[in-house]
Amino acid sequence: MEVYEFFGTAEGTAICLGDFDGVHTGHRQVLLEASKTGDWGVLLFTHNSKGEKEILTLLEKLAVLKKLGAKYAVSADFKEELKEKSPEEFVQILKELKVKSVAVGYDYRFGKNAVGDIPLLKSLCSEYGMEVVTAEAKTFGGEPVKSTKIRELIKSGDIKKANILLGSPYMISGKVCKGLGNGTDMGIPTANIEAQKDKLLPKDGVYSGSVGGKKAVINVGKNPTFSAEKRTVEVHIIGEKEDLYGKSLTVEFLDRIRDEIKFRDKNDLILQIKKDIKSVKEEF
């Protein structure tokens, strides 16, 4: 396992346990409970434990958690390092980290085949002098906030509602790579973001968003007007004049503007993009 130390170490802190896919408002209840005991950090999986596309990549999670006050993060490969461990073996890892307490969600399960529950976790941790604190469910519309629901919203393009459940804007981080150059040719330059292959992308379409506090128009899809084959994430940062090629950017999505459309010709596309830019300028 690898420890990312933002400042301080795991020793003497509370460690938060869970999948933390999206670090959504339900997860943040766990972080809140941990913060009541003092300094805290998180055990993270290098990939989603269920093998699904990730709402947040590991690096994106680290950035969000640092912003929320985490002092460290322990990174583990779920399949290789944790999946086959018994509840007793798993708690032994926590002991070796020398944490004083453990924070989990109301429905937390652990150990091989998820046989461990919260009463067992409390019993095993008490043997090593570790306290276990549990967080209440965070609800929205009468239902607990779950990564499964957020994933569905992102896939359907309902970014606005997904952001409410996440507690912060859905984001895509990556390096700016070479694209087809169509945006530059039209006088509306775009940065082509190289998203990680395990990243969950939203439904194809045009979105409003921001990059580094600057308003942006984002296109996810295959650019049907130009008959492109590869699905891309392209962002036009309003007012940006710097060459961004090779730089790492984090693009925050705010709302969905429209479907991706195949236009009759390039001129019709330019007119629509200008309307999209005007819409985003007026939006926030």
- Predicted confidence (pLDDT) per residue in 157-214, tens digit: 999 999 999 999 999 999 998 776 666 667 788 899 999 999 999 999 999 999 999 9
Residue 140 within any structural domain of the chain: yes
Residue 121 lies in a domain: yes
Residues 109 and 219 both lie in one domain:
no
Burial class (CB in 10 A: 0-12, 13-18, 19+), 113: exposed
Distance CA 30, CA 51 (A): 23
The verdict on 6 and 138 lying in the same domain is yes
What is the count of structural domains for the chain? 2
* Residue 270: predicted pLDDT: 85
Q: If DSSP codes are grouped into helix, strand and coil, which group holds residue 155? A: helix
Same domain flag for 140 and 182: no
The H or E element that residue 140 is part of is strand 139-140
pLDDT given for residue 225 in this prediction: 58
174 and 130 within one domain: no
Does residue 31 lie within any of the structural domains? yes
Task: Provide the β-strand partners of residue 104.
Answer: 134
Per-residue confidence (pLDDT) for residue 282, from 0 to 100: 86
Q: How far apart are CA 137 and CA 127, in angstroms?
A: 27
The Cα–Cα gap between 31 and 16 comes to 7
CATH code, domain with 101: 3.40.50.620
d(CA 223, CA 215): 21
Is residue 157, in this structure, part of any structural domain at all?
A: no
pLDDT value of residue 228? 65
- Joined together, the tokens standing for residue 268 give 């019709």
pLDDT of residue 125: 97
pLDDT of residue 233: 94
Catalytic residue annotation: 234
pTM, rounded to two decimals = 0.90
Which DSSP symbol is given to 54?
B
31 and 132 in a single domain? The answer is yes
Q: What is the pLDDT at residue 253?
A: 98
* Residue 266: predicted pLDDT: 80
156, part of any domain:
no
Is the domain of 21 the same as that of 134? yes
With a CB cutoff of 8 Å and minimum separation 6, the contacts of 274 are 188
For residue range 89-107, what is the model confidence (pLDDT) as tens digits? 999 999 999 999 999 999 9
Domain boundaries, position 190: 170-283
Q: What's 195's domain CATH number? A: 2.40.30.30
pLDDT at 227: 62
Residue at 70 is within a domain: yes
Q: In the chain, which residues have pLDDT < 50? A: none
